[in-house]
Amino acid sequence: MNQTFAVWIVIALSLAGANLPFLVQRPFLMLPWTQPGEAARPVWLQWLEALVFFALLWGVGYLTLALIGQAFFVASDPASAALFMGKLLMTAALAALLLAYPGWRNRGRAVHKPFFVRLLEMLVLYGLVGALGFAFEANMGNVFPQTWEFYAVTLSLFLVLGYPGFVYRYLLRHRKPPQKPRTPSAPSPAD
């Protein structure tokens, strides 16, 4: 894989992942507390669902590292390129399906996501994009050890990439759809 191509994929996914929590009202995470608009469930069930969800999310990140980081890719061989792209698309589809499940479960309900939940979603997407970046790095050669400074800088850059979505959600004035005029009720036959 070409290093430039890998970098642009990670940048594009970072831009999309940082803005997605602000642009989409559907929840992406199964949280152990009830969000405004969700159906009430027993507390033990909420915690169990959240633990299973985050374990599956960790599994998708680990699968990404294993499949993409250890994949054999030769740019001149169309079969290895197709296999690599298939693995990449498969892991992306698994992550998308897993993140779509909480919104699917709450279909038909207007769930309101507070700002804190949007930040949690950004952190989860930062982790998934970071796992893909590490997988690309492992696929191309040496994996360099990272210290806390690396994570502080990349998280800051991820938050800066999410600024357009923040502006759209919280700083722009959104017009409310016009309300339908009330039709007067027909007079009753007794009148």
Please check whether residue 142 lies inside any domain of the structure. Answer: yes
Please check whether residue 33 lies inside any domain of the structure. Answer: yes
Please check whether residue 12 lies inside any domain of the structure. Answer: yes
As given in the structure block, the two tokens for residue 7 are 């970098």
Please check whether residue 176 lies inside any domain of the structure. Answer: no
Please check whether residue 151 lies inside any domain of the structure. Answer: yes
> So what's the pLDDT on residue 188?
59
pLDDT in tens, 79-110: 777 887 888 889 889 999 999 998 888 887 88
Reported as half-sphere exposure (CB side, CA atoms, 13 A), residue 161 has a value of: 23
- The count of domains in the chain is 1
DSSP class of residue 167 equals I
Its domain, for residue 7, covers 3-171
Please check whether residue 101 lies inside any domain of the structure. Answer: yes
Please check whether residue 158 lies inside any domain of the structure. Answer: yes
> So what's the pLDDT on residue 149?
93
> So what's the pLDDT on residue 162?
94
pLDDT in tens, 139-152: 888 788 889 999 99
Low-confidence residues in the chain, pLDDT < 50:
none
Q: Are 1 and 84 in contact (CB under 8 A)?
A: yes
Please check whether residue 186 lies inside any domain of the structure. Answer: no
